[in-house]
């Protein structure tokens, strides 16, 4: 009798634990696999010049590519920062501007998946953003802050900034906290890298012209 | 203890879970290799880094005197210079959209300087000269009919300068409900278009605003004020209302602010004193006071007259009595409705919730014979159906799920959305079906800077449709919305808070469904040479009043108002017996005439005609001492106070952030970690159960029991 009770309880507990672990892993698997599909959609988009959906039923699409060379980060940013988008990649707030336009660009990501690297960002780090139209924009981290999620106010003016945001504290398991960790980066070059690169390439190919 | 007892086991497990989770979940500082001393807590604002010197401090006292249906208001702005340098303060502030601003005074200590009306450019020159010469001066200009700029020069160190502005306006009457509104701040306007570049290759700024001028909004830098921080109250406003309605009232209430009502000391009957409760209010939403007549059986009629410079100026407000037979069901025409909802960034927070709720109510009220479509816009325009669809149950359900999925974000590109609503909606309609009411219901906060462009579009493409605007949020651009509704021959409804959404939508819908009084005409015998505004009396929906201002030579004995409803003719005669004499009716008349002239000015493409119309506005405003787009008030003190050697800095004052209009950061924590912790914890419990039972079992075997 005692043995049966014991086995039964342990069996149920093991199964319960397994579903929880599977659920947790699924979030990470989804985040990883989606980025692979997104990279492909991004490349297709770069070639076709059209908005390419990563999978047929996706309700969002790639809008930018985000890189942090020092940390080896290379991610595809999605349109919108609602939950459905953030599960698959960092999201560009629809209130903010598109990459390549003047204004404030706000990209948010999950603190425990895509934006886990945020805790390692330092002032002075280089952040690169590629726009869908092929521009390469370079930014440098100038400041980091912790703010209340409801206290951010984006003024539409002519400042050109990149904001990266994720939940704070980083290792808390509590959901729905009010604090956000925000990294502020400012453009490095007034001329986009793309144009410089293009000129250099042309010089090489058609030297003398 | 025995592990065969499940009850005990669960208590044990629960205690353990508390212990484990307390350690696993908390402790944020442990992780990461970053230096947390770098992190600054607080509020983040992204904007131009300017304004290093001390800006003047501001607080405002507002005195509203309501007598009958006329409001006489005095706005007293106290500019206090906290620093030790001379400053010039610039403040962009809102006023009600139909305010006729006719007086301004500058007060320093006991000295009072009365403002004079001048042509705009000339007033500016007078002000600049005084500013250079070190004289105290102030200039009041109109940026939009509901947005004004006041500049005060040479405010001395630790000195306070008072600017008093006076205006007159009629009380708002709709559905037997009277209301008066005072806006406290400006919802930041969306500025469409490309930046204008000056000769030096720099973005062009002509004002202290945050956004450069664009091709679509050439004065953007004058209408985009700096906003104060969250929770900051940079412009405390006190409001005092002296209300003399002239009849028994009921249901007196302030919609968005707490007020204190004082009526004890007043000798006169029916006189109320309402004071804004200054504790804990943030001056971040419109002040609205409303009341009703206690007896609603008699429709309200108000007629005021003033004799001024040999002419008589009169104002008439009345709610026409429609025949009861006119309000019957069988005359109801099937309708084509197009709902347009603004989902731009400025609608974020409370506003979008109000709008979505209002829209859902509207969709649910549709009848199966009605047809409808839905347009949502921010930076882009999205249309639910390719053309208007019958409001069947299934279609309504689809529309409601579309509405529920909407969220606010992006720009306010209103032009394409409005264009789509005005033009594409009746595609595929055959000639036989023309006999339908075409109504556009437009929900927005109107936070746009290109108003003129939009009015022009509405006037050009309206055709047989009617445009109904619903103002959403704590301080919507009511100038845009009421003028758009005028141009669209519909009406403007203001929803200021969540708890009046249902009430206002019901009112609007009974309006939309009820018959209309059209072809309204005012007849006054010809010898009086009457000039009345608005020239064309708009169609009236049930409960709406006619508001007319007219100028006559001599006072006629009576006048007649007539019109046609769908079922019967309407006619009402009013006699000019012992009409109440009032001051300032001429200003109200002049303000309405200015509106009419400005409408023609906007619609005109011919340079010569534009110049003529502009001159007409200037002449009219100078005659009636009225601030307009082309005339400003300026007051200059005689003696200089600042020596030319002493410097003066210029500062723009901030506006309070409107209530509920903030952009939140998204939730960026996943449940992954929590799931892992839960899973691992349950596994640990399983292991412990196993170990415990094994140990217990052995124990039993060894010692027996």
Which helix or strand (DSSP H or E) is residue B481 part of?
helix B478-487
Span B313-326, average pLDDT: 74
Separation in Å, CA of B474 to nearest CA in chain A: 17
Beta carbons within 8 Å of B361's beta carbon, 6+ residues apart: B501, B502, B505
- Please give the model's pTM, rounded to 2 decimal places: 0.67
Span B543-556, average pLDDT: 88
Interface membership of A61 toward B (CB under 8 Å):
no
Which helix or strand (DSSP H or E) is residue B97 part of?
none
Beta carbons of B1 and B8 less than 8 angstroms apart: yes
What confidence score (pLDDT) does residue B29 get?
A: 33
Span B126-140, average pLDDT: 94
CA distances from B149 to B27, B47, B92, B221 (A): 52, 21, 4, 12
What confidence score (pLDDT) does residue B141 get?
A: 95
3-state SS class at B685: helix
Question: Which of B246-255, B429-438, B507-516: highest mean pLDDT?
Answer: B246-255
Share of chain B above pLDDT 90, in %: 29
**Alpha helix (H) ranges present in chain A?**
2-48, 83-86, 193-205
> Whole-angstrom Cα distance, residue B383 to residue B343?
13
Closest by CA to B352, choosing from B341, B339, B340, B362, is: B341
Question: Does some domain include residue A76?
Answer: yes
Of B25, B40, B672, the CB nearest to A28: B672
Domain tally, chain A: 1
Beta carbons of B383 and B373 less than 8 angstroms apart: yes
Question: Does some domain include residue A207?
Answer: no
Which helix or strand (DSSP H or E) is residue B154 part of?
strand B147-155
3-state SS class at B280: coil
Closest by CA to B492, choosing from B443, B448, B420, B563, is: B443
**Higher pLDDT, residue B323 or B350:** B350
What confidence score (pLDDT) does residue A18 get?
A: 92
Indicate where chain B has its CATH 2.60.40 domain(s): 298-320+524-623
The CATH number of the domain where A150 resides is what? 2.40.260.10
Tokens (6 digits) for B488: 């669209």
> Whole-angstrom Cα distance, residue B556 to residue B543?
28
Question: Does some domain include residue A19?
Answer: no
Beta carbons of B510 and B549 less than 8 angstroms apart: no
Question: Does some domain include residue A186?
Answer: yes
| pLDDT classification of B561: cutoffs 50, 70, 90 | confident
Check whether B622 has a pLDDT greater than 90: yes
> Whole-angstrom Cα distance, residue A3 to residue B158?
87
Pairing state of beta strands A126-131 and A62-68? antiparallel
What confidence score (pLDDT) does residue A154 get?
A: 54
Beta carbons of A2 and B697 less than 8 angstroms apart: yes
**Higher pLDDT, residue B555 or B630:** B630
Question: Does some domain include residue A147?
Answer: yes
Beta-strand (E) ranges in B6-146?
A: 40-41, 45-46, 57-67, 70-80, 86-94, 100-108, 111-114, 116-119, 135-144
* Pick from A192-201, B242-251, B372-381, B653-662: least confident: A192-201
CATH fold of B333-513, please? Rossmann fold (3.40.50)
Closest by CA to B471, choosing from B288, B336, B603, is: B288
**Chain A residue with minimum CA distance to B412:** A95
| pLDDT classification of B700: cutoffs 50, 70, 90 | low
Span B305-330, average pLDDT: 75
Question: Does some domain include residue A21?
Answer: no
What confidence score (pLDDT) does residue B360 get?
A: 92
Of B32, B212, B681, the CB nearest to A158: B212
Check whether B586 has a pLDDT greater than 90: yes
| pLDDT classification of B297: cutoffs 50, 70, 90 | low
Beta carbons of B615 and B630 less than 8 angstroms apart: no
> Whole-angstrom Cα distance, residue B571 to residue B568?
10
Check whether B80 has a pLDDT greater than 70: yes
The reply to whether residue A152 touches residue B25, judged by beta carbons under 8 angstroms, is no
Of B9, B190, B669, the CB nearest to A177: B669
Burial of B640 (0-12, 13-18, 19+ CB in 10 A): middle
What confidence score (pLDDT) does residue B180 get?
A: 94
In what side-by-side order are the strands of the sheet with B518-523? B518-523, B558-564, B569-575
What confidence score (pLDDT) does residue B44 get?
A: 35
Span B555-564, average pLDDT: 86
Check whether B656 has a pLDDT greater than 50: yes
What confidence score (pLDDT) does residue B45 get?
A: 36
Range of the domain at A144: 27-199
Tokens (6 digits) for B428: 């595929």
Provide the greatest CA pair distance for chain A: 93
Phi, psi of B184 (to 5 degrees): -105, -25
Interface membership of A124 toward B (CB under 8 Å):
no
For residue range B448-478, what is the model confidence (pLDDT) as tens digits? 888 889 998 998 888 888 899 999 888 888 8
For residue range B474-508, what is the model confidence (pLDDT) as tens digits? 888 889 998 999 888 888 888 877 778 888 888 88
How many A-B residue pairs are in contact by the CB < 8 A criterion? 242
Check whether B527 has a pLDDT greater than 70: yes
Question: Mean pLDDT in runs of 10 for chain A (209 residues)?
Answer: 76 91 89 88 80 77 89 88 82 75 81 89 90 84 76 54 85 76 80 33 26
CA distances from B219 to B170, B192, B294, B380, B606 (A): 29, 12, 46, 24, 21
Separation in Å, CA of A164 to nearest CA in chain B: 10
Of A94, A111, A168, the CB nearest to B409: A94
Across all residues in chain A, what is the average pLDDT?
77
What confidence score (pLDDT) does residue B703 get?
A: 52
| pLDDT classification of B704: cutoffs 50, 70, 90 | very low
Span B312-333, average pLDDT: 68
What confidence score (pLDDT) does residue A80 get?
A: 78
For residue range B158-215, what is the model confidence (pLDDT) as tens digits? 899 999 999 999 999 888 889 999 998 887 777 777 778 777 767 777 888 777 788 8
Contacts with A108 from chain B: Cβ below 8 Å: 665-666, 668
| pLDDT classification of B57: cutoffs 50, 70, 90 | confident
What confidence score (pLDDT) does residue B326 get?
A: 46
Question: Does some domain include residue A22?
Answer: no
Interface membership of A149 toward B (CB under 8 Å):
yes
Across all residues in chain B, what is the average pLDDT?
81
| pLDDT classification of B37: cutoffs 50, 70, 90 | very low
What confidence score (pLDDT) does residue B200 get?
A: 72
Contacts with A180 from chain B: Cβ below 8 Å: 665, 668
Tokens (6 digits) for B174: 């709709």
3-state SS class at B410: coil
The reply to whether residue B672 touches residue A144, judged by beta carbons under 8 angstroms, is no
What confidence score (pLDDT) does residue B609 get?
A: 92
Check whether B51 has a pLDDT greater than 60: no
What confidence score (pLDDT) does residue B31 get?
A: 33
Separation in Å, CA of B626 to nearest CA in chain A: 33
The reply to whether residue B675 touches residue A20, judged by beta carbons under 8 angstroms, is yes
Phi, psi of A133 (to 5 degrees): -85, 10
Q: What is the Rg, in whole angstroms, of the alpha carbon atoms belonging to chain B?
A: 31
What confidence score (pLDDT) does residue B239 get?
A: 93
Question: Does some domain include residue A164?
Answer: yes
For residue range B205-256, what is the model confidence (pLDDT) as tens digits? 788 877 778 888 888 888 888 777 656 678 889 999 999 888 888 888 888 8
Indicate where chain B has its CATH 3.40.50.410 domain(s): 333-513
The DSSP secondary structure of B319-353, one letter per residue, reads -----GGGS-GGGPPPEEEEEEEE-SGGGTTHHHH
Question: Which of A89-98, B97-106, B197-206, B525-534: highest mean pLDDT?
Answer: B97-106
> Whole-angstrom Cα distance, residue B641 to residue B634?
18
**Chain B residue with minimum CA distance to A114:** B668
**Higher pLDDT, residue B665 or B325:** B665
For residue range A3-18, what is the model confidence (pLDDT) as tens digits? 677 788 888 999 999 9
Span B392-409, average pLDDT: 87
> Whole-angstrom Cα distance, residue A167 to residue A177?
7
Beta-strand (E) ranges in A14-160?
A: 62-68, 73-79, 91-92, 104-108, 126-131, 136-148, 153-154
The reply to whether residue B678 touches residue A158, judged by beta carbons under 8 angstroms, is no
For residue range A97-120, what is the model confidence (pLDDT) as tens digits? 778 766 678 899 988 889 989 989
What confidence score (pLDDT) does residue A1 get?
A: 56
What confidence score (pLDDT) does residue B660 get?
A: 54
CATH architecture of the domain with range B298-320+524-623: Sandwich (2.60)
């Amino acid at each position: 009798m005692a043995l049966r009770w014991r086995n039964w309880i342990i069996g149920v507990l093991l199964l319960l634990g397994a579903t929880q672990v599977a659920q947790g892993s699924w979030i990470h698997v989804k985040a990883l696999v989606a980025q692979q599909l997104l990279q492909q959609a991004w490349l297709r988009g770069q070639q076709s010049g059209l908005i390419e959906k990563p999978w047929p039923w996706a309700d969002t699409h790639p809008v930018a590519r985000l890189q942090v060379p020092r940390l080896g980060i290379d991610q595809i940013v999605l349109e919108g920062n609602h939950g459905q988008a953030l599960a698959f990649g960092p999201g560009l707030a629809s209130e903010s501007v598109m990459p390549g336009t003047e204004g404030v660009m706000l990209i948010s990501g999950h603190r425990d998946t895509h934006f886990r690297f945020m805790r390692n960002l330092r002032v002075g780090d280089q952040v690169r953003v590629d726009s869908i139209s092929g521009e390469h924009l370079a930014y440098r981290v100038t400041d980091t802050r912790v703010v209340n999620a409801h206290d951010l106010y984006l003024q539409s003016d002519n400042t050109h900034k990149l904001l990266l945001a994720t939940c704070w504290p980083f290792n808390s398991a509590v959901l729905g906290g009010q604090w956000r960790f925000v990294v502020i980066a400012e453009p490095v070059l007034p001329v986009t890298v793309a144009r410089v690169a293009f000129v250099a390439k042309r010089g090489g190919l058609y030297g003398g012209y | 203890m025995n592990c065969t007892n499940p009850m005990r086991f669960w208590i044990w497990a629960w205690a353990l879970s508390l212990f484990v989770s307390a350690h696993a979940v908390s402790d944020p500082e442990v992780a990461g290799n970053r230096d947390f001393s770098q992190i600054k807590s607080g509020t983040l604002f992204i904007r131009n880094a300017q304004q290093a010197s001390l800006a003047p401090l501001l607080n405002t006292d507002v005195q509203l005197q309501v007598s009958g249906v006329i409001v006489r208001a005095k706005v007293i702005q106290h500019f206090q210079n906290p620093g030790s340098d001379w400053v010039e303060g610039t403040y962009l502030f809102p006023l009600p959209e139909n305010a006729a601003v006719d007086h301004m005074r500058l007060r320093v200590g006991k000295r009072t300087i009365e403002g004079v009306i001048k042509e705009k450019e000339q007033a500016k020159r007078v002000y600049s000269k005084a500013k250079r010469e070190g004289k105290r001066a102030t200039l009041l200009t109109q940026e939009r009919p509901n947005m004004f700029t006041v500049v005060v020069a040479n405010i001395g160190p630790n000195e306070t300068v008072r600017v008093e502005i006076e205006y007159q306006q009629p009380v708002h009457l709709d559905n037997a409900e009277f209301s008066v509104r005072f806006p406290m701040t400006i919802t930041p306007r969306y500025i469409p278009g490309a930046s204008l570049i000056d000769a030096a290759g720099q973005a062009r700024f002509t004002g202290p605003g945050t956004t450069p001028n664009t091709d679509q909004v050439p004065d953007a830098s004058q209408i985009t004020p700096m906003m104060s921080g969250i929770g900051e109250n940079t412009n405390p406003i006190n409001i005092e209302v002296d209300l003399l309605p002239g009849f028994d009232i009921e249901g007196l209430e302030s919609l968005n602010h707490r007020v204190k009502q004082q009526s004890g000391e007043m000798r006169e009957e029916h006189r109320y004193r309402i004071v804004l409760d200054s504790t804990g209010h943030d001056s971040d939403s419109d002040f609205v006071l409303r009341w009703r007549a206690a007896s609603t059986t008699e429709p309200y009629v108000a007629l005021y007259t003033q004799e001024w410079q040999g002419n008589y100026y009169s104002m008439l407000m009345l709610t026409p009595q429609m025949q009861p037979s006119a309000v019957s069901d069988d005359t109801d025409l099937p309708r084509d409705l197009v709902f347009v909802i603004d989902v731009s960034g400025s609608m974020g927070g409370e506003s979008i919730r109000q709008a979505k709720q209002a829209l859902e109510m509207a969709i649910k009220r549709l009848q199966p014979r009605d047809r409808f479509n839905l347009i949502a816009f921010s930076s882009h325009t999205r249309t639910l159906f390719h053309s208007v669809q019958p409001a069947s149950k299934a279609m309504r359900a689809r529309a409601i799920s579309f509405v529920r999925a909407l969220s606010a974000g992006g720009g306010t590109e209103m032009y394409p959305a409005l264009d789509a609503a005005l033009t594409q909606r009746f595609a595929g309609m055959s000639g036989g079906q023309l006999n339908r009411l075409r109504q556009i219901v437009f929900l927005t906060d109107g936070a746009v800077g290109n108003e003129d462009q939009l009015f022009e579009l509405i006037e050009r493409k309206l055709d047989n449709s009617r445009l109904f605007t619903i103002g959403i949020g704590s301080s919507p651009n009511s100038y845009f919305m009421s003028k758009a509704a005028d141009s669209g021959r519909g009406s403007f409804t203001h929803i200021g808070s969540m708890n009046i959404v249902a009430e206002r939508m019901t009112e609007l819908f009974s309006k939309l469904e009820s018959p209309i009084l059209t072809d309204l005409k005012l007849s006054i015998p010809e010898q009086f040479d009457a000039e009345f505004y608005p020239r064309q009396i708009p169609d009236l929906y049930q409960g709406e009043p006619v508001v007319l201002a007219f100028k006559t030579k001599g006072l006629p004995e009576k006048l007649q108002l007539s019109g046609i409803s769908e079922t019967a003719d309407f006619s009402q005669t009013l006699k000019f017996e012992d009409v109440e004499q009032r001051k300032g009716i001429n200003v109200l008349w002049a303000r309405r005439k200015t509106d009419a002239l400005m409408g023609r000015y906007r619609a005109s493409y011919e340079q010569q005609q534009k110049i003529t119309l502009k001159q007409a506005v200037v002449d009219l405003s100078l005659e009636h001492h009225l601030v307009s787009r082309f005339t400003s008030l300026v007051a200059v003190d005689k003696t200089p106070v600042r020596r030319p050697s002493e410097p003066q800095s210029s500062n723009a004052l901030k506006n309070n952030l409107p209530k509920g209009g903030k952009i939140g950061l998204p939730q960026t924590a996943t449940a992954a970690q929590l799931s892992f912790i839960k899973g691992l914890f349950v596994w640990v419990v399983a292991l412990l159960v196993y170990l415990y039972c094994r140990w217990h079992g052995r124990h039993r075997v060894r010692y027996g029991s």
